[in-house]
Amino acid sequence: MSTSNPHFSGYGLGLRKEHYCDFLETSVPVDFVEVISENFMVAGGQPRHILRQVRERYPVALHGVSMSIGTAEGLDTDYLRRLKSLVDEIEPLFVSDHLSWSRSGGFNAHDLLPVPYTDEALDRVCANIHQAQDVLGRTMLFENPSSYLAFEGACMTEWEFITAMARRTGCELLLDVNNVFVSASNHGFDALAFLDGIPAERVRQVHLAGHSQGRDILIDSHDSPVCTGVWELYARAMQRLGPVATMIERDDEIPPLAELLQELSMARTLGAAL
Amino acid sequence: MNLAQLQQAFRRWLVNASDESAQLLGSNHVGLAVYQNNYRAQLVGCLEQAFPNLRRWLGEQAFLAASITHIDNHPPHAWTLDAYPEGFHATLKDVFPQNPDVHELAWIESALNEAFVAADAQPLALEALAELDWDTAVLQLTPSLRCHDLTTNAEAIWSALWQETCAPEAVMLEQAGGLLVWRRQFTSRLRQVDALELQAVQQVQADGSFAGLCEFLVQRLGEDAGVMQAGEYLAAWLGSELIVGVRDV
Ligand SMILES: [Fe+2]
């Protein structure tokens, strides 16, 4: 990898069970792997053991889905404590989660629910990010989720919200290009305006994934290859951001590793053209 | 509507799909339906993954119906989905009150899931026993160990389902016994034991004292047989890595 960007961490893949053997027994040509943090926030057993072995061979990014950074009532301290213990052990390349919420009044939806882009929500998100970064003792990355619903009463766009969030908390960004594509289509905004609107210098990582066509709406399903429209948007994003660590997320219909590496080589080609 | 109220309305939408909550959220029915579907599909998938053999035993339709009853009555609370299957047990008792085989199969699969990610423990080196004063020795069982009463042939049913062979019909055991689930290194274990061994394990789990175990067995079997049985259990539990620590107090 040749780059002038000191933050560039190369090209990676999400580590999924189906490929554990490939990653542990062969030398997979990736610069890092990303795992879902919660799968490893357990007391012991094989998952933690495998992660330790993987970590000996590859840099690891910890990607969370349950921090619920947009929750109105503050973060779950037990959750933060366990994540901190995992972070201390793994010394990850990145620690990320989503700009979304899942917890409310003791209920947990286990989904990435949308945040209203209001001043009140921005205050809450920023306070929660401060709390998380203080406990973890490091900067986190937050990802733009796909959304299927926009709330009345929003006083800013998603990218304005993200920009203010990054400025106020010092957090960094995980740009999911597929999620921009899906949300832009679902809500009728201009994906390029999103790319132009976010602070480029804060983007540390990019996700690419496949989506599917639901009834009247695009669904972020992570069960198919990255589509042409998303590759085009990625190329535009790279022109604007410069080289940024990029990986492919596949969570369903998981193909042989060689197929994902083939997809990843497309990202390398687009990155090398910069 | 402030953020907390919006999130409460969203919660009500996911759990009850009420028209009133949909209205509060702006009546975007297409978008709301996606979140509603994601929420329910995720929980159905979580239960399916946690109880694959119970699902085969009940049949897909009956399992799905019980899952839906559970999801309707018990929204998830914990930050981890791993905690969600635990509560399914209570729903199964309501839905299948006359089927202890179902309850015991569910217990087996829950316990195996818990043991899979329980805290690690190193097997005990035999040198640790050499200098031990057995009158005061305290045994430490592996943190992955789970014990339960057994009244049916659920162990045989589970084993057949797991091996994908023809499962026997459910029957009550002539004598109630017990089940032990634990993990040796990275391999989960399930063992059916008789009532005496179950009680002996529970005795050690409660206070750890080897002298206490001997006393319990002597009361049940008489002096010589009791002491001999304690020695046999000790050897077997060490061999199967149920005992992972021992100390004098
Ligand atoms: Fe993503």
**What is the pTM assigned to this prediction?**
0.94
Chain A environment of B144 (Cβ under 8 Å): 45
Q: How far is CA A118 from the centre of its chain?
A: 22
Identity of the amino acid at B85: P
pLDDT digits (tens, 9 = 90+) for B210-230: 999 999 999 999 999 999 999
The residue range of the domain holding B145 is 121-249
Q: How many domains in chain B?
A: 2
Average pLDDT over residues A260-272: 94
Q: Classify the complex by whether its ipTM is higher than 0.90, answering yes or no.
A: yes
- Whether B112 maps to a domain, the answer reads no
B183 at interface of A, judged by CB pairs closer than 8 A: yes
For residue B235, the surrounding DSSP H or E stretch is helix B223-239
Same domain, B133 and B49: no
pLDDT (tens digit per residue) in A137-146? 999 999 999 9
CB-closest option in B11, B39, B186 to A105: B11
- Strand (E) or helix (H) holding B141: strand B137-141
- Do B20 and B126 fall into the same domain? no
Question: Would B43 be classed as within a structural domain?
Answer: yes
Please check whether residues B244 and B135 belong to one and the same domain: yes
Residues B189 and B75 in one domain: no
Contacts of A214 in chain B (CB under 8 A): 34
Does residue A1 surpass a pLDDT of 60?
no
Give Cα separations from B102 to A53, B51, B54, B108, B164 (angstroms): 38, 11, 7, 10, 18
User: How confident is the model over B17-59, as pLDDT tens digits?
Assistant: 999 999 999 979 999 999 999 999 999 999 999 999 999 999 9
What whole-number distance in Å separates Cα of residue A164 and Cα of residue A119?
10
- Region B2-22: what's the mean pLDDT? 95
Domain boundary among B98, B132, B164: B98
Residue A4's pLDDT is what? 58
For position B10, what pLDDT does the model report?
A: 97
A225-253 average pLDDT score: 95
B144 in the same domain as B195: yes
B126 lies in the same domain as B214: yes
B128 and B224 fall within a common domain: yes
Distances B234 to A127, B183, B204, B224, B226 between C-alpha atoms, Å: 54, 18, 11, 16, 12
Residue B177 identity (one-letter amino acid) = G
pLDDT in tens, A214-236: 888 999 999 999 999 999 999 99
Determine, yes or no, domain membership for B115: no
The answer to whether residue B179 sits within a structural domain is: yes
Q: Are residues B140 and B228 both part of a single domain?
A: yes
For B54-103, write each residue's pLDDT tens digit. 999 999 999 999 999 999 999 999 999 999 999 999 999 999 999 999 99
Residues B86 and B22 in one domain: yes
**Which residue, A147, A257, A271, is CA-closest to A206?**
A271
Of the candidates A249, A250, A210, the residue with the CA atom closest to the CA atom of residue A227? A210
- The answer to whether residue B107 is domain-embedded is no
Contact B119 A43 (CB under 8 A): yes
Query: Do B180 and B62 fall into the same domain?
Result: no
Average pLDDT over residues A100-129: 97
Q: Is B103 within the bounds of a domain?
A: no
Q: How far is B135 from chain A (nearest CA, A)?
A: 33
User: Does residue B109 lie in a domain region?
Assistant: no
- pLDDT, one tens digit per residue, over A160-214 is 999 999 999 999 999 999 999 999 999 999 999 999 999 999 999 999 999 999 8
Could you give the C-alpha distances from B69 to B12, B13, B66, in angstroms and in order? 17, 17, 5
Confidence of residue A2 (pLDDT cuts 50, 70, 90): very low
- Pair B137, B94 in one domain: no
Instruction: Note whether B246 and B178 are same-domain residues.
Output: yes
Q: Count other Cβ atoms within 10 Å, centred on residue B54.
A: 28
Domain assignment present for residue B116? The answer is no
* Domains (range + CATH), chain A: 11-272 (3.20.20.150)
